[in-house]
Structure 1
Amino acid sequence: MSAPKKHVVFDVVGTCVSYDAIFDALDSRLGDRLRAECIKPKLLGYTWFEAAEREYTYLSISGRYIRFYDVFRSLFYRMLWMAGIEEPRKFATDDDLAYILEQFMNLDARPGVAECFQILRDAGFTCWAFTAGDTKRVRGYFTRNGIDMPIENFMSCDSLGIGKPAPESYRPLLTQFAGEEAWFAAAHMWDVSGAKSTGFKGAYCTVWEKEPCIDLFGTMDVMADSFPEMARKIVAASQETESKSA
């Protein structure tokens, strides 16, 4: 008798790969100008991502889905204005923006991601990627970092026309798994908790947000400070469930 199938779906951007290349590009291109205005490049980068995620989500909710990359690009000058720059289009140029956006192709894997996948696969799990980015670009992150993730194991919100964390975005994968053991793993607590509310088991890594804010999102089934630790906890939790049902 074959072993029951088990799955872990990973968020990618911000989870498996870091935003550091974008932060570094902001610093190298505009850092001195930003610091002269008492603006930390990394903080500007963080608020840019957060604002883009909000606008992306709001557009999706209102039935006007637009790719995250396009939303992110459009908000650049608005973010400079919100940071206190009186004339954003004199402060920075379209060439500056193009340089920063080019770094979207160069996001690096977070420490321990490859080991995490290997631990899970050795324990019989299939690893999947579910992203708000386009599949070609996001798969390139894995290829560039030497991490195996088959193209058939990708799902993008772009193909659904629905952004996370709408419940409708997670459900197609759950339907595909047809009642098999299914985990969702991310470094964004809003993402893990959203998936958990639709029926996934939730695995959260603190590598990005540090503070899980469980008063807002609740406690996930697995919480860890590194990806290998998270993988080992998923495997242990799965084995415990299997032993109880045996």
Structure 2
Amino acid sequence: MSSKNVVFDVVGTLVSYDHLFAAIDTQLGPRLREHNIKPSLLGYTWIEVAEREYTYLSMSGKYTVFADVFRALFYRMLWMAGIKEPREFATDSDLEYIMKEYAGLKLRPGAKECVQKLRDAGFRVWCFTAGDVKRVSGYFENEGVEMPASDLISCDAAGLGKPDLAAYRPLLGQLVGENGGRVPWFAAGHMWDVSAARRAGFKGAYTSIWEKEPLTELFGEMDVIDETLPGMADKIIASQAAS
């Protein structure tokens, strides 16, 4: 067990949504544009609403696997985008194509380098995700990045979703206990995620590669902020060395 640990969010942080947005464009793009709907904006909104509904279900005691929430919202999102008859506009086969491609998301530029920099510096790299372990482990496997099953933890295991502070605390307690009280890092491209982890007790590292604007006035200051994943890794390493 390394005495230095970094826990990463996966989808949106190390893994990009671009492949999902491209799949929506491929399958529905011409139809969507007839209604002045931008495929990438529909995809973004779909992801964001799914995260909200997933969180609300978890908070209310009805934890549901994220991919099931995401799938269920498809026709509702078309309705909210302005499609009068969503089930005439699109079909279940359209949805199946998109969901299949969703299982094939790609790593962000710099993600491999980020993970390798940290491992070379003696950090153990963990993942804590709202996604299911099989799908998320596939993202790494498909791109040749080793991510041991023991280091990949899903909210599904406890049936409690992020950003509930109680979701972060078991892994935090484990890592602190195994390393003589040394505080681990939590790294994410979602400010809501890393700020919650920081309030739970982690050190916080944020990359603006996804959201662009950190909005520290809302979420608070971070221990480390950088525009890129490798840059964030460098700052984590430097901060750890200085502590």
Which band: TM-score by shorter chain?
Answer: over 0.9
TM-superposed deviation, 1:181: 3.0
Letter in 1 for 2:191: M
| Aligned-residue CA RMSD (Å) | 1.1
Moved runs in structure 1, 4+ residues, more than 3 A?
none
**Distance (whole Å) between structure 1 residues aligned to residue 158 and residue 104 of structure 2:** 25
Give the 5 Å matches for 1:114-129.
Answer: 114-129=112-127
Aligned twin of 1:42: 40
> SS of the residue aligned with 1:106?
coil
Q: In structure 2, how many angstroms separate the alpha carbons of the residues matched to 1:162 and 1:124? A: 30
Partner of 1:240: 242
Point out where structure 2 has 5 or more consecutive residues left out of the alignment. none
2:102 maps to what in 1? 104
- Which of 45, 61, 66 matches 1:68? 66
Instruction: Specify the alignment match of 2:146 in structure 1.
Output: 148
**CA contact 2:2–2:123 (8 Å) conserved in 1:** no
Q: Select 1:57's aligned residue among 43, 50, 55.
A: 55
Give the Cα–Cα distance (whole angstroms) in 1 for the partners of residues 99 and 164 of structure 2.
27
Distance in 2 (alpha carbons) for counterparts of 1:99 and 1:143: 21
How many Å separate the matches in 2 of 1:90 and 1:167?
42
In structure 2, distance between residues paired with 1:186 and 1:147: 18
1:22 to 13, 20, 23: 20
- Report the equivalent of 2:197: 195
Deviation at 1:4, TM superposition (A): 7.1
Partner in structure 2 of residue 244 of structure 1: none
Aligned-residue identity in percent: 61
Retained in 2: the 8 A contact 1:4–1:180? no
Does residue 207 (structure 1) correspond to residue 203 (structure 2)? The answer is no
1:180 Cα deviation (Å)?
A: 2.5
Q: Is the 8 A contact 1:119 1:228 kept in 2?
A: yes
Query: Under a length normalisation based on structure 2, what TM-score does the superposition of the two structures give?
Result: 0.96
Q: Which residue of 2 aligns with 1:132?
A: 130
Q: Report if the CA contact (8 A) 2:2-2:124 is conserved.
A: no
- Structure 1's unaligned 5+ residue stretches are 242-246
User: For residues 120 and 173 of structure 2, what CA distance do their matches in structure 1 show?
Assistant: 25
- Work out whether residues 130 and 155 of structure 1, in 8 Å CA contact, stay in contact via their aligned partners in 2: yes
- Could you tell me how far apart the structure 1 residues matched to 2:7 and 2:27 are? 35
- How far apart, in 1, do the equivalents of 2:192 and 2:2 lie? 29
